């Protein structure tokens, strides 16, 4: 089994409810096991597209799927929840990023691991740090990355998951 780290986000419709439902799907569908879920965070959008704030959370789990198989499954979940890929870094009903799979480097036209933007995104790092302060991306702990970029624009929600 491989250890995976996922980042989930949404900002269209009832985004908080969508994230709760997706987490339930992850438990029920058993593609992932030994699932740990961070708190939910409200976050300021990245990019120049005017849009509502996002709600984000992090999932740690184990899977026997290869990275591209896992990507296919997660993209099918996004589609199930109405994801349309129209505007880069635009609003979305659901976004699921694979941040890491067993610490491996993986390069494919559809997926790069670790996620190339993870260390620049406080909303990703804060959720990871909540689950494991010593989790490493590109050889550094998430707490080290957070010390570099800060946590501006990220607010922890209470009792959301």
pLDDT tens profile 90-120: 578 899 999 999 999 999 999 999 999 999 9
In sequence order, what E strands does 64-143 have? Answer: 95-101, 106-108, 111-113, 136-137, 140-141
**Residue 23 placed within a domain:** yes
Domain tally for the chain? 1
Confidence bin at 46 (pLDDT 50/70/90): confident
pLDDT at res. 109: 97
* 39 Cβ neighbours under 8 A, 6+ residues apart: 57, 127, 130, 156, 157, 158, 160, 161
pLDDT at res. 77: 94
Distance CA 96, CA 121 (A): 14
* 8 Cβ neighbours under 8 A, 6+ residues apart: 19, 22, 23, 56, 57, 58, 59, 94, 95, 96, 97
**Residue 33 placed within a domain:** yes
**Residue 161 placed within a domain:** no
**Residue 42 placed within a domain:** yes
The model's pTM: 0.93
Cα Rg for the chain, rounded, in angstroms? 15
CA nearest neighbour of 48 among 87, 12, 8, 7: 87
Exposure class string for 49-76: b at 16+ Cβ within 10 A, else e: eeeeebbbbbbbbebebebeebbebbee
Residue 34: pLDDT over 70: yes
**Residue 28 placed within a domain:** yes
At 112, give phi and psi (nearest 5°): -125, 130
**Residue 85 placed within a domain:** yes
- What is the CATH number for 36? 3.30.70.560
**Residue 70 placed within a domain:** yes
CA nearest neighbour of 131 among 59, 63, 62: 59
pLDDT at res. 84: 67
Confidence bin at 121 (pLDDT 50/70/90): very high
pLDDT at res. 49: 73
**Residue 77 placed within a domain:** yes
pLDDT at res. 86: 66
pLDDT tens profile 3-32: 999 999 999 999 999 999 999 999 999 899
At 76, give phi and psi (nearest 5°): -65, -35
Domain that holds residue 57: 2-156
pLDDT at res. 160: 66
pLDDT tens profile 55-98: 999 999 999 999 999 999 999 999 998 866 665 555 788 999 99
Residue 47: pLDDT over 90: no
User: What is the percent of the chain with per-residue pLDDT over 90, rounded to a whole number?
Assistant: 84
């Amino acid at each position: 089994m491989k250890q995976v780290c996922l980042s989930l986000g949404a900002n269209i419709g009832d985004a908080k409810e969508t994230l709760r439902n997706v987490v339930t799907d992850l438990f029920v569908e058993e593609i992932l096991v030994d699932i740990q879920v961070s708190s939910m965070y409200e976050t300021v959008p990245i990019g120049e597209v005017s849009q509502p704030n996002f709600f984000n959370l992090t999932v740690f789990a184990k899977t026997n799927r290869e990275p591209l198989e896992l990507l296919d499954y997660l993209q099918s979940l996004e589609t199930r929840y109405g994801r349309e890929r129209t505007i880069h870094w635009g609003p979305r009903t659901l976004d699921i990023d694979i941040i890491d799979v067993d610490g491996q480097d993986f390069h494919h036209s559809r997926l790069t691991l670790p996620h190339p933007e993870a260390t620049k995104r406080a909303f990703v790092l804060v959720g990871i740090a909540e689950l494991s302060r010593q989790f490493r991306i590109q050889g550094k702990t998430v707490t080290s990355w957070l010390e570099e970029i800060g946590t501006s624009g990220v607010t922890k929600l209470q009792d959301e998951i």
